[in-house]
Amino acid sequence: MIEAKNFIKELIKEGKHFYYEDNVFQGNKIFVVYSVVRWVVAEAKSGKFDSAQVKNYLNAVSAYLSGEIELFWENGVLYVRKLKEKT
């Protein structure tokens, strides 16, 4: 089972979405990603999510990082909004 901190550390190591530039950490989406991954891990550990659900949420995180969707919390509920395709 993944841990949220390790997941974020790996993303930072990857250097694609979160990185240091001139001693400044660049990570606009890190708080949302961390909160979603932490929530997914907790739900999986409690037995509420199976491996397919975990995979779906991690795929959503990936789509969020690549700019395909928007993820946001509202009143404790996670929402996913597909962004309009560029023409």
Q: What is the pLDDT of residues 21-67, one digit of tens each?
A: 888 877 889 899 999 999 999 999 999 999 999 999 999 999 999 99
The answer as to whether 48 is a domain residue is yes
- Of the pLDDT bands very low, low, confident and very high (cuts 50, 70, 90), residue 86 is low
| CB neighbours of residue 67 within 10 Å | 10
Helix (H) or strand (E) holding 62: helix 51-65
18 or 66: which leads in pLDDT:
66
Sequence-separated (6 or more) residues with CB below 8 Å from residue 4: 34, 37, 38, 41
Sequence-separated (6 or more) residues with CB below 8 Å from residue 40: 49, 53, 54, 57, 58
The answer as to whether 87 is a domain residue is no
For residues 46 and 44, what is the distance between their CA atoms, to the nearest angstrom?
5
Q: What is the pLDDT of residue 4?
A: 82
> What is the domain count for the chain?
1
Domain range enclosing 42: 4-82
pLDDT beyond 90 at 1: no
